[in-house]
Structure 1
């Protein structure tokens, strides 16, 4: 899935006319309104219609108009290309851009690599795999001083106890 970004998971069918119920894997579930195409199992599909029920996008794929035609998509992930990504505000990033960054302190001490991003609530938390242990770094400006995607580096200012 090179150069494709996961934006949703098909969790069920909806009705008998081939509609798909999607669990959004994005901060903005309305972002499906602006998509014309999507990828499932690396195959392109044209989106015919999107509407919402109880916060879940309901998607109709072109030429799929029967429940029996879309059962194969259940539990599959929806991907988009980078050209279909939404524009983010300054100093905000997609999770796929953060994963894999090397984490160093402002003093140049290497901490490890970001292996996951947790989204528990008020702010994200970076899971950093160090040599001997994992660290949880809150994704707030107080700790994260710089993110350089070209250098694949995040610079943090740890407070006492953060890296223990």
Structure 2
């Protein structure tokens, strides 16, 4: 039986654009309602006991409290206080676990959260559309950005002088034209 507070939906006034996904539910795990999640944050504090997360699935948003978390590489086993059985966990398969963007820690100038960069347009210095930043890959030497464009895919390094400007308001990244990038 679900706890009484679990029956309350969060206000539908929440703008999903103001939420930041920190994990995605892959499946239930075990009879006691654990959730196997794919972690989409590098901040381990998000899963400390007592932390509040929002479960987001289709037209449902419900608040939940972290009871425990066991990391497993880019995955983890998450126990939420409000879920105590496999029957309560199963309907959340595919749900996103999110936090309001107001809970994000401010970054230093020139640093960005992944969600801020994914989907932005990448253009050359002469204003030629090159593509859209579609993935960020973590490499030993530093992050690289995968850009998908009309002429195919190409990578650009996140460090160095290739990136000239990032304008989050206009959702555009300007890169220096360099041989071998396209």
Contact 2:65-2:82 within 8 A present in 1 as well? no
1:40 maps to which of 56, 66, 69: 56
Cα pair distance change 1:35/1:132, threshold 3 Å:
same
Contact 1:100-1:113 within 8 A present in 2 as well? no
Contact 2:123-2:131 within 8 A present in 1 as well? no
Cα pair distance change 1:100/1:75, threshold 3 Å:
closer
Contact 1:45-1:61 within 8 A present in 2 as well? no
Cα pair distance change 1:132/1:48, threshold 3 Å:
closer
Query: Which residue number corresponds to residue 73 of structure 1?
Result: 92
Give the secondary-structure state (helix, strand or coil) at the position aligned to 2:47: helix
Structure 1 residue 111 corresponds to structure 2 residue 129: yes
Alignment of 1:16-55 (within 5 A): 16-33=31-48, 35-41=51-57, 42-55=60-73
Normalised by the size of structure 1, how large is the TM-score? 0.78
CA distance in 1, matches of 2:18, 2:136: 22
1:128 maps to which of 132, 135, 147: 147
Residue ranges of structure 2 left out of the alignment (5+ in a row):
1-15
Query: Which residue number corresponds to residue 2 of structure 1?
Result: 17
Q: Please tell me the root mean square deviation across aligned C-alpha atoms, in Å.
A: 2.6
CA distance in 2, matches of 1:159, 1:89: 27
CA distance in 2, matches of 1:111, 1:49: 47
| Aligned-residue offset at 1:120 | 4.5
CA distance in 1, matches of 2:133, 2:160: 20
Normalised by the size of structure 2, how large is the TM-score? 0.72
Residue ranges of structure 1 left out of the alignment (5+ in a row):
none
| Aligned-residue offset at 1:133 | 3.3
CA distance in 2, matches of 1:129, 1:52: 35
CA distance in 2, matches of 1:29, 1:119: 19
Give the secondary-structure state (helix, strand or coil) at the position aligned to 2:17: coil
| Aligned-residue offset at 1:94 | 2.0
Contact 1:17-1:67 within 8 A present in 2 as well? yes
Count, aligned residues:
162
